[in-house]
Every structure is written in structure tokens, then in C-alpha cells.
Amino acid sequence: MGLLISLGKRIQSVREKRGLTQEALEELTGINTKYISAIECGQKNVTVKTLEKIARGLNIECYELLILNVEPGSETAVKKTIESLLEDADAKTLKLCLAFLKKGLE
């Protein structure tokens, strides 16, 4: 399956799980329903700005649309997000994260 089709199916799946129609997503994003439909069918290439609008309309982070094999908000998605954020973190940030996690586990 191609990337555009996978991304389109992902957007459609999240939209439907949020109980939104394409019309409702249009109201939230300002993106025309015909264009939303074409994106969901994998017929249109999506710009980063458009993807950001769609994510905002779906009330998720943009990157969550790009993790194609993981449900947004799931435990796996949260772990992958933390891992990706920690990759670029400096020592001070890592120590703060560790302290925060330890506090949460008390």
C-alpha cells in the first residue's frame, strides 16, 4: 500500500473514531470536504500545513498521523513519542524527565 493511501486511511480512521464527518472536519479546519475526501482516498499529496490543520481539527498532534501502524493516544503511541523526544534531549532535560517520572511512580 502506498504512503498516500496509508496516510489517507489513517486520517479517515481517526476522523471516524472521533465521530466526525468530513463536513464537520471542514468546519474545524477550513479544508474543503472534496479535498478531505481526496486526501482520505490517497489521491492528493498533503502539505505539512494541511496535515497540521487536519491534526488540529482531529485534536491530535501532527506526528500522530504519521505513525501509521499505531493508534493515536495508545500506550504504544505515547511510548514512541517519549522515545523520539528523548533522542534529542540534553543531559539536563533527561535528568528532569527522570525526576518527573520517579515522582509520578511514588
Same-domain pairing of 62 and 17: yes
Same-domain pairing of 40 and 80: no
Same-domain pairing of 35 and 78: no
The better pLDDT of the pair 85, 26 is held by 26
The better pLDDT of the pair 96, 85 is held by 96
Q: What is the pLDDT of residues 30-43, one digit of tens each?
A: 999 999 999 999 99
Nearest residue to 52 via CA among 69, 32, 66 = 66
Band (1; pLDDT cuts 50, 70, 90): low
Taking each continuous run of H as one helix and of E as one strand, the counts in the chain are 7, 0
Q: What is the pLDDT of residues 20-33, one digit of tens each?
A: 999 999 999 999 99
State the residue range of the domain holding 43.
1-69
Same-domain pairing of 9 and 49: yes
Same-domain pairing of 62 and 85: no
- Contacts of 68-74 with C-beta under 8 Å, sequence gap 24+, read 68/6, 68/7, 68/10, 72/14
- Indicate whether 69 pLDDT > 90: no
74 DSSP 8-state letter: S
Same-domain pairing of 47 and 86: no
Same-domain pairing of 35 and 82: no
CA–CA separation, 35 vs 69, rounded Å?
24
Same-domain pairing of 22 and 56: yes
In this prediction, residue 70 carries a pLDDT of 67
The pTM assigned to this predicted structure is 0.69
Q: Compute how many other C-beta atoms are within 10 angstroms of the C-beta atom of residue 25.
A: 23
Same-domain pairing of 57 and 10: yes
